[in-house]
Amino acid sequence: MASPLPFRFDAGHPALDFLNTRAGPDDGSDLLTAAPDAVWRWLEAAGLLPERGASGAEGGAGALPLHRLLLTEALRLREAVGDALEALRSGAPLPAPRVHELARALEAGVWRRVLERPAVAGGDGDAPRVRQRAEARDVPGLLAPLADAAVSLLTTADPGRIRRCDDPRCRAWFLDTSRSGRRRWCSMARCGNRAKAARHYRRTRSSRSDAAES
């Protein structure tokens, strides 16, 4: 079995988790290129692989041409999503080529509406509900559910809540669902604590030099 890749799913939205596959400026690494089948593995881990029935597309490290094409498509989509969200955050109009890219990715899937029925017939289970399901008939179609998630973020989220980590070395994306709406860090465990430790260090150093001068 392939070794697990260190994907993060803590951004609060799958489209932002997808953007975070590219590390911050301080690191520069890219999880989508960390293994030949990394995109497939990310989609699988995120629960965003479409139904494969009609696709003829199968995963596994043996399917190298598929994975190469999937990577090319995924990198295009990631760039489009990142640019579109940056525009949204800054109040600029969405760049037309990026919208075109998103539409292309969304429309590559074959969408079906299905009725999901409660688990217990006649019981008090959940009410039936309509779900959209994607099928992939080709490689670009494999990214359709992810494109769908990105489009829904772009069209429904409060732009002020789509944030990037304040740490200039990190800049990871996250959806701020805090009550105050003033969250600064992608995660307390990563960047929040690092900033706290740096602040503490600066404080103790300045109080030590004050003491030395007096």
Contact with Zn ion (CB under 5 A): which of 170, 173, 175, 183?
170
State the Cα–Cα distance between residues 211 and 213, nearest whole angstrom: 5
Nearer to Zn ion by C-beta: 31 or 191?
A: 191
Taking residue 98's Cβ as centre, other Cβ atoms within 10 Å add up to 21
Ordered DSSP codes for 39-66: HHHHHHHHT-PPB-TTT----STT-HHH
Among 17, 73, 101, 167, binds Zn ion (CB under 5 A): 167
What is the smallest separation between the CB atom of 18 and Zn ion, expressed in angstroms?
A: 16
* C-beta of 20 vs 55, nearer to Zn ion: 20
Q: Verify binding: residue 11, Zn ion, rule CB under 5 A.
A: no
Q: Is 172 in the site for Zn ion (CB under 5 A)?
A: yes
Q: Which helix (H) or strand (E) holds 194?
A: helix 193-213
Count of residues that bind Zn ion according to CB under 5 A: 6
For the chain, the farthest-separated pair of C-alpha atoms sits apart, in whole angstroms, at 81
CA distances to 136, 137, 156, 185, 202 from 160, in Å:
34, 37, 12, 15, 31
- Residue 175 sits in the site that holds Zn ion (CB under 5 A): no
For Zn ion, the closer of residues 125 and 168 by Cβ is 168
Name which position in 88, 151, 165, 175 contacts Zn ion (CB under 5 A). Answer: 165
What residue ranges bind Zn ion (CB under 5 A)? Answer: 165, 167, 170, 172, 186, 191
